[in-house]
A and B are shown apart, each in its own frame.
Chain A
Amino acid sequence: MKRVGLFIPCYVDQFYPNAGIATYQLLKKLGLDVTYPTGQTCCGQPMANSGFEHLTGDCNQLFVDNFAEFDYIVSPSGSCVLHLKEHLHTEKSEPQAAAIRTKVYELVEFLVDVLQVKNLKAKFPYKVGLHQSCHGQRGLLLTQMSELVAPYFSKPQQLLAQVEGLELINLKREDECCGFGGTFCVVEEAVSVKMGKDRVKDHQANGAEYITGADMSCLMHMEGILKRENSNVKVLHIAEILNAG
């Protein structure tokens, strides 16, 4: 049986363990041999996106040491996965790093493209808004982008459609960025928050009870805004919905 290494990004590990647990349980339910290498920390993206890619060497090496042995590496975070695919390099173990770049998957991508899941048996009877995180959508091509003249598809929608009782709401702006953007959220606080407020408003205006997505970081940003507004709308990582019921 192929072995799956579970990569739980640092902020999910520390703040949103439930998203990690749901990912783990979901993969187990689907009959996979899943291991969480306990020596892992982070993919290095926060440093690289801030212009400090040159400092990520040790972090990258640690990642390779933890994950080189697996057939697949799966993670519930589009932006971390995209970062690994585009920028994971090491001095010592470049062949292993190169292999990891091709076998690391974001969870939705893994479920749809590799496992080709058609029948999830999940239940979530609520109105849900889907936030398309940019790195997942435009980087990993989880969903067609509204700017391109090309046929529409959406991998997260394909999965959410298998969830019993779930009603996916429409949004006015289908794939607008939420403004999280890694360190952008503090360096550009004013614009980041305004983007987040607008994003959240679109979901609220269309009756969402939950906002979900394949990137916990965007959800964390929107959750911060929702809570400040005392809104009833909640955020849940897509793994938690796909694992519900």
Chain B
Amino acid sequence: MSTTAKTHPELSEVFNKDEQRVNWHDETLWWIRQKRDKSAHSIPEWEVLREKASQIKNNALSNLAEYLVSFEEKALANGIIVHWAADAQEHNQIVHQILQKHDIRQLVKSKSMLTEECHLNEYLEKQGLEVIDSDLGERIVQLAKEPPSHIVLPCIHKKKEEIGDLFHQHLGVAAGTSDPQILTEAARVHLRETFLTRRAALTGVNFAIAETGEFVVCTNEGNADMGAHLADVHIACMGIEKIIPKRKHLGVFLRLLARSATGQPITTYSSHFKKPRAGQEMHLVLVDNGRTVQMGREDFRASLKCIRCGACMNTCPVYRRSGGHSYHYAISGPIGAILAPNLDREKYADLPFASTLCGSCSNVCPVKIDIHQQLYKWRQVIVQEGYATSGKKMSMKIMNYTLSSPGVYKTAGKAGRWVLKYIPFAVNNHFNPWYKQREMPEVPKESFGEWYKKNVK
């Protein structure tokens, strides 16, 4: 992949060079979207559940401080050591210090998007520590030295032949192996060895319950349990928005999460962690990293309701045809595009524009985040803050001038259908991107306005 390509359009253009791959990527994710539909339709009260989940999350966010304090209190009473991290840097340091304290140089991790967001692997590796991702998909992208391209299906962009090559290089399977069964078996042997020898395990958190001070981790491979149960030290890291008020609310989310993610009725393992087992140390790191800032932005606050099911990615026609890496942020797809600009408006100015605003994301979202409306709103903020290109600014000014005056509009239209140049292709003042792979509309003899004048009035 070209290293100069940085924005979503550039990165997706590279991805689209291989049309077969795009087709396969699109069809695989569409297949998952259909599984999600089937699964959702099997529950008559699905929309009621979505509404419930949305309300519980609204309540949790509105009373976040209270719930966090209550959660910490209960967790401490349960024997969990609680840490607070203001940002990614602090989060990484806390994890590092815990490992240092125990003189541990190797860490086994179960999938956690938060640690991706914080670039924990890179940080620890720089300090000379070894990190092994234990989720199969995560392990594959880790071997390929790539970030995950999807929050639930981290290596969805890779074909089994490519995975075979990676396993040949790193795990010693025979060259040319692409049989998923053999590859999975090889990974299993390799990971088992990892679980048995690592003394520290890190997991993410799907739900933290304010009422009881416990947390729940959902996986399909049981790798979080394996890591946590075998390790002397269990570190769990969570964004502060993962709080739900009560244990009884869990059912609502567990019913929605797996169905939205993969169409399964429930994730294979929903593991509850409440206290360390005898002899084990359990740490929990609560991370802000921009979340309280987003809380303060009324228009974007609802983005914190996300339970990271990935349904918005699977349904997104743009994501399916551009691949997760084109979003150049830890969390890709529609939800990533509304979370990223919160952290860095300039770096992620392209992401809210990587959408047709079709609205499908908002409809599949199990917690009813108004994703496409937020994309529209981010566009306004990004332009207002000055991150639009000067070409775009100029063409918008010309467009405004023309469209604000019927006289100018008509003259310009007559003079070679002015609109050809500016509407709705209003960028950079040139027409090339349209014409590259599409024919232009035929220019009619007269406009509707001219026809009307002649024939009606």
Contact = CB atoms under 8 A, between A and B. Distances in A.
| Interaction A to B | yes
A102 interface: no
A221 B357 CA distance: 16
Contacts of B16: 190-191, 194
A204 to B, nearest CB: 15
B360 A20 contact: no
Nearest to A196: B438
A44 B403 contact: yes
A220 B46 CA distance: 37
Given A50-B379, A149-B46, 11 more contacts: A17-B451, A41-B403, A46-B426, A47-B400, A49-B357, A147-B360, A181-B356, A186-B434, A188-B8, A189-B9, A221-B438
Interface of B: 8-9, 12-13, 15-16, 19, 22, 26, 30, 37, 40-41, 43-44, 46-47, 315, 317-318, 321-322, 353-360, 362-364, 376, 379-380, 382-384, 388, 392, 396-397, 399-400, 402-406, 409, 413, 417-420, 423-428, 433-434, 436-444, 446-453, 456-457
B397 A55 contact: yes
A211 interface: no
Contact of B426 (A41, A47, A177, A217): A47
A187 interface: yes
A210 interface: no
Interface string A164-188: 0000000001001101111111111
Most buried by A among B8, B364, B396, B448: B448
Nearest to A58: B404
A21 interface: yes
Nearest to A224: B438
Given A36-B452, A47-B396, A228-B439, A145 B360 contact: yes
Given A146-B37, A188-B354, A217 B359 contact: no
A193 B437 contact: yes
Interface string A50-75: 11111110110110000000000000
Given A10-B403, A138-B363, A190 B439 contact: no
A1 interface: no
Nearest to A194: B321
Given A181-B356, A198-B26, A49 B427 contact: no
A52 B376 CA distance: 10
A172 to B, nearest CB: 9
Contacts of B436: 189, 193
A179 B435 CA distance: 15
Contacts of A17: 444, 446-448, 450-451
A50 B380 CA distance: 8
A14 interface: yes
Most buried by B among A8, A179, A194: A194
Given A138-B359, A189-B9, A52 B396 contact: yes
A179 B433 CA distance: 14
A195 B317 contact: yes
Interface string A3-21: 0000010111111111011
A227 interface: yes
A15 B453 CA distance: 17
**Main SS class of interface, B:** helix
Nearest to B319: A191
Given A10-B423, A50-B396, A55-B400, A224 B356 contact: no
Of all A-B residue pairs in the complex, the 3 with the closest CB atoms, nearest first, are A181-B356, A224-B438, A51-B383
B317 A177 contact: yes
Contacts of A147: 37, 315, 360, 363-364
B360 A182 contact: no
B403 A42 contact: yes
B322 to A, nearest CB: 5
A183 B424 contact: yes
Contacts of A20: 448, 451
Most buried by B among A52, A177, A221: A52
Nearest to B42: A149
Interface in A9-48: 10-18, 20-21, 24, 36, 38-42, 44-47
Given A14-B417, A50-B392, A149-B47, A177 B438 contact: no
A207 interface: no
B406 A62 contact: yes
A188 B379 CA distance: 15
A192 B355 CA distance: 10
B153 to A, nearest CB: 19
A193 B438 contact: yes
A188 B316 CA distance: 15
Given A44-B403, A134-B360, A194-B16, A228 B438 contact: yes
Contacts of A225: 437-438
Nearest to B311: A147
Given A21-B448, A145-B360, A185-B424, A15 B383 contact: no
B151 to A, nearest CB: 19
Contacts of B40: 149
Interface string A81-105: 0000000000000000000000000
A12 B419 CA distance: 10
A181 B355 contact: yes
Given A17-B446, A49-B357, A184-B353, A189 B437 contact: yes
Nearest to B360: A147
12 contacts: A15-B417, A20-B448, A41-B404, A52-B388, A62-B405, A145-B363, A181-B358, A187-B433, A188-B9, A188-B322, A225-B438, A227-B439
Contact of B447 (A13, A139, A181): A13
B403 A59 contact: yes
A75 to B, nearest CB: 12
A223 interface: yes
A134 B88 CA distance: 38
A115 interface: no
A205 interface: no
B392 to A, nearest CB: 7
